[in-house]
Structure 1
Amino acid sequence: MSMNNSLTVEASKTGLRRNIFAGAIGVLVHWFDWAVYAYLATTISHVFFPEQSETAALLSVFAVFAVAFFVRPLGSLIFGHLGDTLGRKKTLSLVIIMMAAGTLMLGLIPSHETIGIWAPVLLIVARVIQGIAAGGEFGSAAAFLAEYSPPKKRGFGCSWIEFGSVLGFLLASVTVAGLHMLFDDETIANGAWRIPFLLTVPLAAVGLYIRLKIEDTPEYQALQDMDTVPAAPIREVFKYNKTQFFQTIGVEIFMNCTFYVVLVYLITYQESMIGMSAGQAATLSTIASLTAVAIIPLAGIASDKIGRKPVLITAGVLLVALAWPLFTYMNQGTPMAGFISTFGLASILSLILGTHAATVAELFPTRTRQSGLSIAYSIAGAFFAGTLPYINTWLISVTGNHMIPAYTLMVVGGIGLITLFTMPETAGRNLLHESDLAAAKNQTPEFHRMKEGV
């Protein structure tokens, strides 16, 4: 297939739906696994760290949560390189297998009462496996969906990544709420907490089956046809795409930190700091997820109509302006205060979720897209978002100030706005950049040195 034909290939509607589903299902599985751990943090702390005080045990659980983020960069290096050198399809399949294996292991680990210190050790091992897989998930899915979506609907197409992630959170919160309805706290602590983790196996099997049936993207096939698949994409990122790389880190700090405060940490905050019951907090988490599921595709459509930057800037301004009032209202502790504040935070988050993936995917050329996205995303998660639950819990315990999460969101909103003002508008941009075509025309000497291993 010629380069021109590659550029004009449009998948059938059935094929496009299948590809969108293939990208979203893996993200759904990934975030279902991730969210269940966060939602069951209090229970897990008693199972694996029973000898510590309640606060110390919770901090230990969140520390293990953060460990998985710190190994994300390793996963991003591995899967980013594989995606840009071997194709998007292979990494999509490998990532979902690895994530499922780590989660299954977590669900089968005996308690501290049974095997002692080996219980938390194995918990860390399972989270490391999950973290390495997570390092490759976003870059693989974002590159795949961006390259398969029509240019005028790329924001909408890429929004399904985060639709899948929030749907994973929604399924997790519904599952945890169901556990609390079906079992008492003692039964959950004695083993029922494992059920959600074991549900990963059939979910992952479905995701893997679908991902094995897809083809690689038209843009990646164009690189293959031109014989310009990069030999060292990570080197190219740091030589030619440094600006795009740091812009992506800024956008992903904006997204990830907001995501983890609103959809991960908030349920623990509402239980531990405000005094809500586990069932009430899980219900509010479900409301947050439902809100996001409804708004995310609309945000993607809006970014196709008016541009990526206007949508993201609106979210940044709202986050800076409303984080403090919403947390102040939430701390009143009434059902109405919980509902309105959770709905408001989830709505702001949804604007970011529906737009960020297309935005950062359009920044990079096809040659380095998966590597650049994967590494930048994992750095933002590892050094910023992954530590937020721990930092917020620690700062509140030290200062006694329950408004700490609001202040962190205001800072995150500021980072997002500063980053966005340095970026061009990317909506509708051709995903085969000049550097992709220059390599084909033998106009990039560095490309040949890399290909020859010099």
Structure 2
Amino acid sequence: MRTSNTEAATTGPEVATDTAALRRNVAAGAIGVFVHWFDWAAYAYLAGTVADVFFPDEDGTTGLLAVFGVFAVSFGIRPVGALVFGPLGDRIGRKRTLSLVIFMMSGATLAIGLLPGYGSIGIAAPLLLVVLRLIQGFAAGGEFGSAASFLAESAPRHRRGFGVSWLEVGSLLGFLAGSFVFLLLSTGLTDDQLVSWGWRIPFLVAAPLGVIGYVIRNKIEDTPEYRALEANDTVPRSPVRELLRTNKRQVLQAAGLMAAMHVPFYMVLTYLVTYETDHLDHSADSAALLSTVISLLGLVLVPVFGMLSDRVGRKPVFVGATAALLVLSTPAFWLMRTGLAGTWIAGLLLGTILAAILGTYAVWSAEVFPTRTRQSGLSIAYNITAALFAGTVPYLMTVLISATGSTLLPGPYMMLFAVGGLVAALSLKETAGSVLLRPEDVSEAPAERG
């Protein structure tokens, strides 16, 4: 019996291919990142209002810095969440961690929406805000690894790139939804109404979305690969120790792919708005419109590039995208200085390159890890690179441009990470269409692995 289980497992578990099952799995995997990015965008756009509510005794700049400090703290704790939820998913399954992280994120988001301001409870208000943002960041540290592992293991292997690409579609949709809600609030409410109660609306809206996500995730089955580990009694007891002993190379390779995604993502979709207004003298409305159009372009192109990677391979798409980023980053920022039309052409060009990276990096990263340590590897690589390179983009660009006076610096900075992505990609084998469950995943000696 044990032999037959192993043979069946290593030939590739059967994955449901009917349209309804695929849609359910995609929804279960993507809704958590949607909720996370919706909350992220709402908090970022409402930073000034949140500062008035929770830090009213500070002057405008100090209060805003305090709000972004709280934001940074929630970002910094993500690697801790990754170290908890990554191994947990390898030990108890993708489904359970998917349900747990969205429950924690939506619960903390609801609590922020109901939190009294400084005027009601004094210093307890900002302290509680910090605690709730820490809970959100801790849970977010487990979201990507859980969702990417689930989507990769749930999709048919010849459509895996397309299936996993919807993870990033969810993040772009969440970002756009948060921006849209902020637009409605800022145009439909007075400043007093926004400070009094309007700022709470996005956080209260995110809570039922989280409940819906929890219900969807709680009803799905775990992935065929993880169930094969259970059937063969080879679920790892110490996934991180096993990861560091046998898959250090894969962690570094995945980190290279992910860093090459994080930096252009935050450069193009977040910092570019500030860059346009501060250094190109474009209006805030024009900058916000370009950011929205780039996000809409990504919604269309990310699954297209995911599908393309299923047909021609992960390596040609990702290498082509990072090579383009290496060659075109600095010329793109030079083009932006020629005027509004140049800014739009450059922004859309960088958005297209970013979409190609987003469509391939997650599925390729998932495929390089064995099933036994996949969620641990994805979670750790993603969140450590995010903490080091993603949230620091706006701050570093502001400091470096101020120190040097050169507005071209974002280009060389992205080139640096494009080189890292290329090195990682060229060191990897092609994995499109590969079987995710390997013979070593269901070996006879799990105890020896830790």
TM-score, normalised to structure 2's length?
0.91
Contact 1:39–1:264, Cα closer than 8 Å, also in 2: no
CA shift in 2, pair 1:392/1:63, >3 Å:
farther
Contact 2:151–2:164, Cα closer than 8 Å, also in 1: yes
5+ residue gaps, structure 1: none
Alpha-carbon separation, structure 2, partners of 1:136 and 1:126: 16
**Which residue of 1 is the match for residue 448 of structure 2?**
446
Counterpart check, 1:368 vs 2:370: no
5+ residue gaps, structure 2: none
Counterpart check, 1:221 vs 2:227: yes
CA shift in 2, pair 1:161/1:363, >3 Å:
same
1:300-339 alignment to 2 at 5 Å? 300-331=306-337, 334=340, 336-339=341-344
Question: How big is the shift at 1:382?
Answer: 1.1
**Which residue of 2 is the match for residue 174 of structure 1?**
180
Which whole-Å deviations, capped at 9, do the CAs of 1:14-55 have from their partners, x for residues lacking one? 212211111011111111112222233444455545566665
CA shift in 2, pair 1:266/1:130, >3 Å:
farther
**Which residue of 1 is the match for residue 438 of structure 2?**
433
Counterpart of 2:238 in structure 1: which amino acid?
A: A
Alpha-carbon separation, structure 2, partners of 1:102 and 1:227: 36
Of 47-56 and 195-204, more deviation after overlay is shown by 47-56
Alpha-carbon separation, structure 1, partners of 2:112 and 2:396: 24
3-state DSSP class of the match of 2:268?
helix
Alpha-carbon separation, structure 2, partners of 1:127 and 1:268: 24
Counterpart check, 1:412 vs 2:414: no
Contact 1:148–1:218, Cα closer than 8 Å, also in 2: yes
Alpha-carbon separation, structure 2, partners of 1:389 and 1:122: 26
**Which residue of 2 is the match for residue 32 of structure 1?**
38
**Which residue of 1 is the match for residue 386 of structure 2?**
381
Identity, % of aligned positions: 50
Contact 1:38–1:265, Cα closer than 8 Å, also in 2: no
Question: How big is the shift at 1:228?
Answer: 0.5
1:199-238 alignment to 2 at 5 Å? 199-238=205-244
3-state DSSP class of the match of 1:425?
coil
Contact 2:91–2:235, Cα closer than 8 Å, also in 1: yes
Counterpart of 2:308 in structure 1: which amino acid?
A: A
Of 377-386 and 86-95, more deviation after overlay is shown by 377-386
CA shift in 2, pair 1:214/1:354, >3 Å:
same
Question: How big is the shift at 1:340?
Answer: 2.6
CA shift in 2, pair 1:318/1:47, >3 Å:
farther
Counterpart of 2:142 in structure 1: which amino acid?
A: G
CA shift in 2, pair 1:198/1:80, >3 Å:
same
Task: Return the match for 1:16 from 22, 30, 34.
Answer: 22
3-state DSSP class of the match of 2:272?
helix
Of 388-397 and 65-74, more deviation after overlay is shown by 388-397
CA shift in 2, pair 1:117/1:320, >3 Å:
farther
Of 391-400 and 163-172, more deviation after overlay is shown by 391-400
CA shift in 2, pair 1:131/1:257, >3 Å:
same
**Which residue of 2 is the match for residue 296 of structure 1?**
302
3-state DSSP class of the match of 1:22?
helix
1:144-155 alignment to 2 at 5 Å? 144-155=150-161
Alpha-carbon separation, structure 2, partners of 1:268 and 1:198: 28
Counterpart of 2:381 in structure 1: which amino acid?
A: A
Which whole-Å deviations, capped at 9, do the CAs of 1:79-111 have from their partners, x for residues lacking one? 112111111100000111111122223334444
Of 25-34 and 216-225, more deviation after overlay is shown by 25-34
Alpha-carbon separation, structure 2, partners of 1:416 and 1:137: 23
CA shift in 2, pair 1:182/1:378, >3 Å:
same
**Which residue of 1 is the match for residue 101 of structure 2?**
95
CA shift in 2, pair 1:372/1:345, >3 Å:
same
**Which residue of 2 is the match for residue 256 of structure 1?**
262
**Which residue of 2 is the match for residue 107 of structure 1?**
113
Of 235-244 and 314-323, more deviation after overlay is shown by 314-323
Alpha-carbon separation, structure 2, partners of 1:367 and 1:317: 32
Alpha-carbon separation, structure 1, partners of 2:48 and 2:273: 10
Alpha-carbon separation, structure 2, partners of 1:371 and 1:183: 44
Alpha-carbon separation, structure 1, partners of 2:180 and 2:186: 10
Counterpart of 1:124 in structure 2: which amino acid?
A: V
Alpha-carbon separation, structure 1, partners of 2:321 and 2:126: 39
Contact 2:13–2:225, Cα closer than 8 Å, also in 1: no
Contact 2:317–2:360, Cα closer than 8 Å, also in 1: yes
Which whole-Å deviations, capped at 9, do the CAs of 1:175-216 have from their partners, x for residues lacking one? 222223323555434542332222101211111111111000
CA shift in 2, pair 1:297/1:370, >3 Å:
same
Contact 1:365–1:436, Cα closer than 8 Å, also in 2: yes
**Which residue of 2 is the match for residue 133 of structure 1?**
139
Alpha-carbon separation, structure 2, partners of 1:54 and 1:392: 22
Counterpart of 1:416 in structure 2: which amino acid?
A: G
CA shift in 2, pair 1:383/1:292, >3 Å:
same
CA shift in 2, pair 1:328/1:105, >3 Å:
farther
**Which residue of 2 is the match for residue 74 of structure 1?**
80
3-state DSSP class of the match of 2:434?
coil
State the number of aligned residues. 444
Counterpart of 2:357 in structure 1: which amino acid?
A: I
Contact 2:165–2:306, Cα closer than 8 Å, also in 1: yes
Contact 2:13–2:228, Cα closer than 8 Å, also in 1: no
CA shift in 2, pair 1:98/1:281, >3 Å:
farther
Contact 2:253–2:424, Cα closer than 8 Å, also in 1: yes
Question: How big is the shift at 1:343?
Answer: 1.8
RMSD: 2.4
Alpha-carbon separation, structure 2, partners of 1:421 and 1:429: 18
Which whole-Å deviations, capped at 9, do the CAs of 1:292-331 have from their partners, x for residues lacking one? 0000001101111111111111111222222223333435
Alpha-carbon separation, structure 2, partners of 1:200 and 1:266: 26
Question: How big is the shift at 1:124?
Answer: 2.4
Of 279-288 and 198-207, more deviation after overlay is shown by 279-288
Alpha-carbon separation, structure 1, partners of 2:290 and 2:186: 14
